Chains A and B, each alone.
Chain A
């Protein structure tokens, strides 16, 4: 069964802290994505990666960075957390050779920055 896991379901951090959100997929997918989800705005793409060590900016990359050192793992980094980064963060993955564009999602991490 397809599986995308995220390191934490809930996280509370203080303003200015460095925050790491981890995502792991066990499907050998090439593509991985980080979204944030806010009420009324749907999902907005922060960063994505087509391959190990490759990354591309999405629609709202400001204040975030990413790391992909291994194919199965994609990390989202908030260098200096701010209250406006309080949100639900969703990780997803997809395959280049499978059903194109179909993304598989993790359960999400609800981050609160105080």
Chain B
């Protein structure tokens, strides 16, 4: 069975500083990986996804993520954080063997200091 771990429950970052959110997955075959963001009171919005090919993936809102098979990781990064990036971020993994289901991590809540 696939699983996803987001080791950081909360992260506080200053506006303009860089941000990196960690995601580790467990799955035997090639996974499909996603990052979603949830702003306060909202549903989840897809930031980016990895299916195959280039391991560095660009997403919306200036985010990028890098797939590292050897480390079973898919970390999310942003070079300069804006106050509007304060939200909860979820990493998710899907796989052909699991049909169309996704497994989500526990989430990382990002606070942005002015």
Contact = CB atoms under 8 A, between A and B. Distances in A.
B27 interface: no
Contact of B101 (A4, A45, A106): A45
Contacts of B42: 107-108
Interface residues of B, number: 25
B94 A105 contact: no
Contacts of B94: 100-101
Contacts, number: 60
Nearest to A29: B100
Nearest to B95: A101
A74 interface: no
Interface in A69-114: 90, 92, 94, 96, 99-108
A66 to B, nearest CB: 15
B105 A31 contact: no
B49 to A, nearest CB: 6
A101 B43 contact: no
Contacts of B32: 100-101
A48 B101 contact: yes
A107 B90 contact: no
Nearest to A45: B101
B17 interface: no
A106 B43 contact: yes
A43 B104 contact: yes
A94 B100 contact: yes
B102 A40 contact: no
A61 interface: no
Given A4-B43, A106-B43, A101 B90 contact: no
14 contacts: A33-B101, A42-B90, A43-B44, A43-B90, A43-B92, A45-B101, A90-B43, A94-B100, A99-B49, A101-B32, A103-B46, A103-B102, A105-B36, A107-B42
